[in-house]
Amino acid sequence: MHVSPVLAAQTTYPFVRIEEAKRRKAAEGVRIFDFGMGDPREPTDPLIKRALVNALDEATGYPAAVGLPELRVAVAEWCERRFGVRLDPEREVIPTYGSKEAIFLFAQVVLDASSGKDVVVIPEPAYPVYERGALFAAADVHTLPLLAEHGFLPDLEAVDDETWSRTAIFWVCYPNNPTGAVAPAAFHERLAELSLEHDFLVCSDEAYSELWFDQPPASALQAADRTNVVVFNTLSKRSSMTGYRCGFVAADARVIESLRKFRPSVGTAPQVFVQRAAIAAWRDEEHVERNRALYARKRALFLDLFERKGLALAGSEATMYLWVEAPEGETSERFAERLLAHGVVVAPGSFFGAAGEGYVRFALVPTEEECAEATALLEDVL
């Protein structure tokens, strides 16, 4: 049997490896505190669950790729309330099955290597899907490091003109997974300007836009000219709805038109009852405020612990993640292994690319009670 050479060249998805290590440890009888994957385990708000149940009709047909008009309106209204940006729900919004599939597939939709635009720029460390999607679209992937001394922002001025001339897509993710860094509005503005100058699309993954602690972070949509800005957002983190699979892409009408053409072939429109639940979720902010308060309390437990133990944090301004420096002389994998020996699962920074070495990522997804127990346990381990 033949397989795609791109697939054959891929290593196991990092979180599959974490799952395996975790299972081995649990089999030894060690109690597991899982801060590995960013999968919120908080209950979904009853208002959202009710909306889903009420939408379960006798028969459920295929969902249309463009989604329910009411969902597109709910998303557009949310973008206006949250970012002050007016979107045309017909022409500038399309729902997605979570945001992962849309992120993975995007290069296939817009890449035309024959035009000389064959480069996808990705940050490192990063969510692995930008790179994987680009490789399956046969793009040339260019990586820009996110460094603490640069606020975990890519150095836009360090990109040479040849790369700009070949760039089709430039991925950014703020608030950032895995570093928790936030980008100022000026960064989005500059990138939007560059996208017009060099004719590329800014793909802004905003999965964590609602998990903030000080002030709501800016969106790439707020750029003065958002013609080349494509935003991916999702209910997964904002509303603890990873299992529902519902997000959206918001972009200029040209981009959404291409997605309207592409997506019926893929079949990843969310189920109609999920879309009904999504409408309820985008229309309600109270459950999101409660979610933020919960993450803030869990975060405070760990910030106290790390301060007492002299562990330094970098980034970690927003999101559900804490980006923690590995102690002097210990690689991120070694540090993660040492924590796992006590049942505490974290993601080594190197899993997100070589530039993530030197850090581990704590995803604050266990319950508040578990977080309290884990910090008590770590008191003797760190």
Ligand X SMILES: Cc1ncc(COP(=O)(O)O)c(C=O)c1O
Q: Where does this chain bind ligand X (CB under 6 A)? A: 38, 98-100, 103, 127, 173, 177, 205, 207, 234, 236, 242, 247
Task: Give me the sign of the Cα torsion angle 41, 203, 84, 71.
Answer: negative
Q: Any idea what the Cα angle at residue 186 is, between residues 179 and 190, rounded to 5°?
A: 100
User: 47 Cβ partners below 8 Å, 6+ apart?
Assistant: 280, 284, 287
Beta carbon nearer to ligand X, 164 or 362:
362
Q: Is 238 left (phi over 0), alpha (psi -120 to 50) or beta?
A: alpha
In the complex, what is the shortest distance from the CB of residue 208 to ligand X, in angstroms, rounded to a whole number? 7
Beta carbon nearer to ligand X, 14 or 151:
14
Beta carbon nearer to ligand X, 103 or 181:
103
In the complex, what is the shortest distance from the CB of residue 355 to ligand X, in angstroms, rounded to a whole number? 16
In the complex, what is the shortest distance from the CB of residue 129 to ligand X, in angstroms, rounded to a whole number? 7
Q: How far is CA 257 from CA 62, 63, 253, 261, 292, in A?
A: 20, 18, 6, 6, 34
In the complex, what is the shortest distance from the CB of residue 365 to ligand X, in angstroms, rounded to a whole number? 11
Beta carbon nearer to ligand X, 247 or 382:
247
What type of residue sits at position 4? Answer: S
CB 63 within 8 A of CB 263: no
In the complex, what is the shortest distance from the CB of residue 181 to ligand X, in angstroms, rounded to a whole number? 12
Residue with smallest beta-carbon separation from ligand X: 98
Q: Counting beta carbons within 10 angstroms of the beta carbon of residue 37, is it exposed (0 to 12), middle (13 to 18) or buried (19 or more)?
A: middle
SS3 of 123, please? strand
DSSP letters for 179-205: T-----HHHHHHHHHHHHHHT-EEEEE
Beta carbon nearer to ligand X, 99 or 275:
99
SS3 of 322, please? strand
Measured from the Cβ of residue 112, the count of other Cβ atoms closer than 10 Å reads 9
In the complex, what is the shortest distance from the CB of residue 326 to ligand X, in angstroms, rounded to a whole number? 21
Peptide bond into 178 cis (omega under 30): yes
Beta carbon nearer to ligand X, 34 or 205:
205
In the complex, what is the shortest distance from the CB of residue 236 to ligand X, in angstroms, rounded to a whole number? 3
In the complex, what is the shortest distance from the CB of residue 309 to ligand X, in angstroms, rounded to a whole number? 27
For the chain, the farthest-separated pair of C-alpha atoms sits apart, in whole angstroms, at 61
8-state DSSP, 69: H
Q: How far is CA 32 from CA 106, 298, 323, in A?
A: 36, 17, 20
Beta carbon nearer to ligand X, 141 or 196:
141
> In the numeric block, which tokens belong to residue 352?
């997100």
In the complex, what is the shortest distance from the CB of residue 327 to ligand X, in angstroms, rounded to a whole number? 26
In the complex, what is the shortest distance from the CB of residue 98 to ligand X, in angstroms, rounded to a whole number? 3
Beta carbon nearer to ligand X, 217 or 247:
247
Task: Give me the sign of the Cα torsion angle 284, 282, 49, 33.
Answer: negative
Beta carbon nearer to ligand X, 105 or 378:
105
Beta carbon nearer to ligand X, 71 or 378:
71
